[in-house]
Each structure stands twice: as structure tokens, then as C-alpha cells.
Structure 1
């Protein structure tokens, strides 16, 4: 198994959704990247089993120039620093993805999450970890299945990358809906308060 990384030169006239197709031993995987940012460094595409017939192709884009600079394959035991979240026990379906980190001026302005979805679809997300720390930040909604992965590239030329935590919230799933009995002693108007603590939600009822 090898890590695939790519490199390009960034500019405002580049494609916002350049698609690399990795032809590997187990099929094809498309990885979408924004070539307007994160140029001049190796960017993680995924972890693949490669053979003699494997290759990487880069298609055209309608919204800007696509830059085919370089592709690199690294053995898994020599790969760059990566934080990996493996979704082995998850139910197949759509999930909202939230990320969390501690902010500081020395953090990376371009920390990159790579989201490997159901069906071989891969998408990269760039966040600025110098701000919005200490809270759950919405990253997007994605289709996951057992075996899906989320990785965070630990390499950045702009600062330290913090791999704190991720949270998944199922979309439209009855199994993830909760209900509380009011339990009030006296019928009438009451304040209903919601307490939030690290993504765990509960409702409290308080008499007026």
C-alpha cells in the first residue's frame, strides 16, 4: 500500500475543482482539489494498493486552468504525518461532519482534511486553524459507509496542524433522534433551555 501525493502551483486563475483519478489495484478513485490554494507543497490524495498498471490522470475543468505538476507515491510506513479517522463501524448514509481544534497564531492557515466517501468519492477541505478554535465547526455533509476515512495532513508551511477531534451527525435518521419528557409538576408556560457540551445535546425545563 502506498500514499499518493501531488503538487501544483497555486493562482487565482486555477481550477477550484480539479479532479485527479487514481487508477489502483482495486479500481478507480476520484479526488477533487482546489488548485487556487495549497500550491508548492505535497498534498495527500489517499492510501492505495498500486500495481504495474496503476496510474494517475488529471482531467480538464471548466472554471480555470488545471496544473499537472507532479505526482508522488510513498510507502505507507514512510508517509508524511497524518491523523487518520477510520469509520469502520458506521452505518451507510449521509452525515454532517464537524471538526474541532485549538486556535493560536502559530497554527496552520491551510490545514487540509481529506474526506474519503462512499463509492470512492474523495474531497479535500481547507481550514484556517488560527481562528474558530474551541468549538465545533461545520465542514460539510458527506456520504459514508464502513471503511470510509478522514485524514488530516500534518504538514503545512504556515504553522502547526492540530488534530483534535471530529464529530459525525447522521442526517434524517430516526435512530439519532432524541426526545425528553417535560416532567413539570404544574401545567403552564415554561422556559425550555438547551445545553450544549462537546456536541452532546440535552434539554432542561425550568419553571418561570
Structure 2
């Protein structure tokens, strides 16, 4: 569901998030393309997702990347949530756990390749950049998708996802209103979803 950027900018500021609105209500709205609902769901779940991923990956930078990928997956696949199978929180944390395990396995596979190659040729001078590139292919999908954003959209989304700031904190850091940040993120998330869909 595409929303014209101009309409987003001119839209009235969204009402403050209602802390009583459950994740189950929000996910239904997200499935319909409601970016405000996604922002509220993000505020509820970003911390638990990052905590889950960090416990498995044990590397802060990689954990932040995986958490961003998980939340983007929630945005893209909200319609697939089945309430009869459990809560939204449990569903999202299950995705987070799977993605964290995938990252650990990818890192281990890279390490194993390096070890095997070293045993075959102890004198080999490994190209660490190439090795890290192989391990980071999944991350590159997200990074290349970020390239479709404007500088302002990319800055706002990067602060929110990679650095873990809330919309209000991003607004304070950039010296603009919360409604402006949400407008940037709404349009940026739509572009990201389109870009990631084109890559899959």
C-alpha cells in the first residue's frame, strides 16, 4: 500500500500512542499498512527483540543489525500473524530467536571455512574483507535497500533501528518535531518494504 510522500508530510500529527492498545490490536493495523501502528508496535517490542538477539549473538553491533532485520520482517509479514497460535510478542520473539541463530550459524560457517582453508594451506594469507562479505550477504540486502531512501529518511530510520532510539528521541537528536520524524519513517518504511520485496 503506497502512500504519497506529500500526503504524509501534510497529514495532521498522529495522536499520542495509547499504552493500553495491545500488540494484537496493533499488528492487525500494521497488516493493513498503518505506519502509526507500526511505530507504536516498534516502541513496545524493539527492546525485547534486541535483548533476545543480544543473548544469542553476544555482539552489540551484529545484534542491532539482526534486531533491525527482525522488525522490518514484522512490518513486511504482519498479515501472516495467526492469533490462535499465541501472542504477538511471542511470535516476534520467535522470529528474533530464529534470525539470531541464523546469524550465529553464518558466523560459525565463515570461521569453519577459514579454518579448513588454513589447514589445507597454512601459508595462505586470508582476505578478511572477502570473508566478512560472504558472512554479511544477508545484511547487505538490508543496506542496499536503505540506499533507496532519501538522506533524511535514512538518517531517521537508522537512528531508530540501528541505534535503538524511539521516535521521540530521534526527533530530539535531530531537532525536529515527532510528527516530522514519523512522516519520514512512514515514507521510508514504505520504500524499504518495496525495495526488500523486489530483492526477494
* Fold shared per TM-score above 0.5: no
TM-score by length of 2: 0.23
Between the two structures, name the one with larger relative contact order (CA 8 Å, sep ≥ 6): 2
**Structure ID, larger Rg:** 1
Q: Which structure dedicates a bigger proportion of its chain to strand?
A: 1
Q: Which has the higher helix share?
A: 2
Q: Tell me the TM-score normalized by structure 1.
A: 0.22
